[in-house]
Amino acid sequence: MNEPFATHATNELTEHVIYGRLARMERNPANRPALERLSAQERTHYEFWKSLLPEATAERIRPRTYATWGIPLLRVIFGVTFITKYLELHEKGAVAAYENIIGTIPEPHRARFREIIEDERTHERELIKELKERRVSYIGFIVLGLADAIVEITGVHAGFLGVTGSTLIAGIAGIIVGFAASISMGSASYLQAKQEPGNQSPLISGFATWISYFSSVVLLALPYFLIRVMIVAFAVSTSVGIALVAAFTFYGAVVFDRTFWREFGETVALMLGTALLTYLLGAVVGSAFHVNALSF
């Protein structure tokens, strides 16, 4: 029984170190106490598991280096809210594992063990809810730009798939349409933020939508400049779009406690459905005006 106890001790010690480093990295003084309490709580959990181990085994427990350094570095990119909620996903698994082994815990320690389960189930979640991060308030604008760009530009490229075999024409069309649409979307987000009360800066909201939209446009158009076979370029571009959908859907699912697969499936279905319809329209228009017979 030493091995699972040692694993749990390692996990708790690792999270203690991670939360401690996140607390030291945190620039918002209002967030630091919650992170410090999370770190202290994980320390007490580690001490519990350590007390159940033989002294020789307990002395060998070390935090996982890749996690204690890697996860705090990821905080710079994804923010403290995402990182703490991502760690919370592991806690949900830990609760299930703990409940399965409660019978193996020595009787004198079971009351404390139940307290640890309650910490993992509710107390840590309440502490994480105390975290306030400004970037979270702009996620909606970023996702709006990403999702709209992926659906719209994939549709543009699919339409040209039915019109011409020139990947260069399709790529240029995507960039031009996407650039205009990104300005339109950014302006709309700017005006929306001005009208709605909240902590969002209209300028940052508009910029976040514009940059996320146009960045997606460039990534989706890039295969058309690198690949000369239209159907292959379309397949690669669509794969990039699906990967982007998966990335921002996962981020939102973690931060806002949403269901990943449902939102991912809906967005991909919308993207592919739009692509099919615009392809059919492009094929009809190209055939009617003999555009697809022209040499570009």
pLDDT at 293: 47
- pLDDT at res. 292: 59
> Which segments in the chain show pLDDT lower than 70?
1-2, 197-199, 290-296
| Gap between the Cα atoms of 236 and 231, Å rounded | 9
Cβ atoms 165, 285 nearer than 8 A: no
At 119 the pLDDT is 83
Q: Please work out, in degrees rounded to the nearest 5, the angle formed at the alpha carbon of residue 149 by the alpha carbons of 148 and 155.
A: 95
Q: What is the pLDDT of residues 33-54, one digit of tens each?
A: 999 999 999 999 999 999 999 8
pTM of the complete model: 0.82
Q: Which residue has the tokens 């700017």?
A: 190
Token reading at 76 = 């710079």
**Cα→Cα distances 146→143, 208, 214, 266, Å:** 5, 10, 8, 14
Contact 11, 94 (CB under 8 A): yes
pLDDT of residue 2: 61
Cα–Cα distance for residue pair 110/181, rounded to 1 Å: 60
Length of the chain: 296
- Extract the tokens encoding 23: 């607390």
29: number of Cβ within 10 Å: 7
Look at residue 207 in the predicted model and tell me its pLDDT: 93
